[in-house]
Amino acid sequence: MIKCIHSKKQSNKTLYTNDILSVRQEKLSNIRKTGIAFPNDFRRNSTSNQLYKKYAHKSKLELQRINIEVSVAGRIISQRIMGKASFITLQDFGGNIQLYITVDSLKNNAYEKNIKQWDLGDILGATGVLFKTRTEELSIYCNKIKLLTKSLRPLPDKFYGLNNQEKKYRQRYLDLIINNNSKEIFKTRSLIIANIREFMQKNDFIEVETPMMHMHAGGANANPFITHHNKFGVKMYLRIAPELYLKQLIIGGFERIFEINRNFRNEGLSPHHNPEFTMMEIYMAYADYQDIIILVQHLLRSLTQTILGHSIVKYGNHQLNFQDPFTQITIKNAISYYLPNTKNKNIDDIHAISTIAASFGIQVNNHWTINEIQMAIFEEIIAKKIIQPTCVTTYPIEISTLARRNDNNPQYADRFELFIAGQEIGNGFSELNDPEDQKERFLKQNKTKINNITEKNNNTPYYDADYITALEYGLPPTAGVGIGIDRLVMLLTDTHTIRDVILFPTLRPR
């Protein structure tokens, strides 16, 4: 019964849309008979934000005195037809501007002829004189107006907005027309990336580009997207991470480099994960992971101050502090701090840590080490509790294949992950530059992957002999970090799903 009602509603909606399409197509047909339907001979000299910035503070009398004529273009998002006069609101990238049109202002009966042909969503070009209405709204008294593009489909209701999330992501153009907040998020995203580049260049880093198709699925532990090179007759992988190529550039003599890159990981969807995502990777010779932590602190502080004007960022119910130095805490200390009931327990005891894991519903495999169980507790329970910018350190060497061993305790890597508001934002470490140690770790990782291959997870094991050869020529002491740009944009725009900061996120097939 419910399905029938839903079907009836859908049917009525389809009929309504088809009626509008027919009416608008008829209007377009009439336009074609009298001239060019989609002209490209109109040129504007102003945008809405330029006009408001320059003239909004001027009085009615001042505007009358200067008698400034302007040309604008944009999409009709509202209109009030009042017989012999009409108000139309145009939307351009900078905002909205109001047009005032009368029978007297347009020549040759253009008012009567055109007003009936225009609909919400149409794109107009208009020329006229600036003035202010009785309500002090900056407007244009039009003497010329031209239909540039006829919209055949109706826009979503401006009052209710575009509330259908599926439609919002599949038809992003409608979201950008209707929801100004979405447009502002993507403007901010562009500013963030531009300011990142400016910061890096000011600190003597060179931007580089590396391949997006790899012969080996290397650089991170993730399932790759697989493609095929027809000419070479070989399998290739979309980039999981650019790390191994970037470190080859350090070997080649570049000392400070960064790349803002698209990566691809053939894994699930979540509010914080999209299979195609944007990262920035930074590499700095003659530095360690503590130097990188300082660099990242300065970068994020600079971004917040430049983009938002301050270093305290509102995110949901939290006030994130980017002014103070980031907290540093080890994984073990994080478990003890965020789970107070574990303070009197020996979390380095396999039985004790297994019991703690089981109490949170974490299934422990018999072959797991103490380190792996601690990591499972951290990832499942602790990470989402970390709100203020915090660098978590002392990661086990077995899950840090490309990181340098700590000199005092070789079981752990000189590595950190940056967590903010429960999300991992960055992953950095002192780079492993010992080719023999790296070769051994690659082989061990290879063996683990062979043992873990299943029908669902056919992540082909790899051994990157070319990278080992490069290391044998000598990688200077180096530190690097990868920063998730999409998640960083989420933080700085107070957005809580990654789909809202990616213009065209990956969606399930219809």
Q: Are residues 101 and 216 in the same domain?
A: no
What distances in angstroms separate CA 433 from CA 133, 284, 285, 410, one per listed residue? 70, 13, 11, 15
pLDDT in tens, the chain (510 residues): 333 334 445 556 666 678 899 999 999 999 999 889 999 999 999 999 999 999 999 999 999 999 999 999 999 999 998 888 999 999 999 999 999 999 999 887 788 888 888 999 999 999 999 999 999 999 999 999 999 999 999 998 755 566 778 889 999 999 999 999 999 999 999 999 999 999 999 999 999 999 999 998 876 678 999 999 999 999 999 999 999 999 999 999 999 999 999 999 998 899 999 999 999 999 999 999 999 999 999 999 999 999 999 999 999 999 999 999 999 999 999 999 999 887 778 999 999 999 999 999 999 988 899 999 999 999 999 999 999 999 999 999 989 999 999 999 999 999 999 999 999 999 999 999 999 999 999 998 877 666 655 544 444 556 789 999 999 999 999 999 999 999 999 999 999 999 999 999 999 988
Number of structural domains in the chain = 2
* Alpha carbon distance 37, 16 (integer Å): 25
Instruction: Return left, alpha or beta for 330; rule: phi > 0 is left, psi -120 to 50 is alpha, else beta.
Output: beta
- Is residue 349 in a domain? no
- DSSP assignment of 312-380, as one string? EEEETTEEEE-SSPPEEEEHHHHHHHH-GGGTTS-TTSHHHHHHHHHHTTPPPPTT--HHHHHHHHIII
> What's the CA gap between 410 and 396, in Å, rounded?
9
Does residue 265 share a domain with residue 129? no
Query: What's the one-letter identity of residue 266?
Result: N
Q: How far apart are CA 452 and CA 153, in angstroms?
A: 51
Q: Are residues 211 and 107 in the same domain?
A: no
CA distances from 298 to 284, 301, 305, 311, 478 (A): 15, 5, 11, 11, 19
Range of the domain at 306: 178-326+389-500
Binding-site residues sit at: 417, 424
Q: 139 with 189, same domain?
A: no
> Does 138 share its domain with 191?
no
**Which pTM value belongs to this model?**
0.91
DSSP H or E segment with residue 439:
helix 435-452
Are residues 281 and 198 part of one domain?
yes
89 and 203 together in one domain? no
In this structure, the answer to whether residues 57 and 195 fall within a common structural domain is: no
Residues 408 and 480 in one domain: yes
DSSP letter at 12? Answer: H
Per the annotation, binding residues for Mg(2+) are: 417, 424
85, β-bridge pairs: 82, 102
- CATH code for the domain of 47: 2.40.50.140
Q: What is the CATH number of the domain that holds 279?
A: 3.30.930.10
Shared domain check, 209 and 101: no
Q: CA angle 261-395-242, nearest 5°?
A: 15
| Spatial distance between the Cα atoms of 103 and 219, rounded to a whole number of angstroms | 68
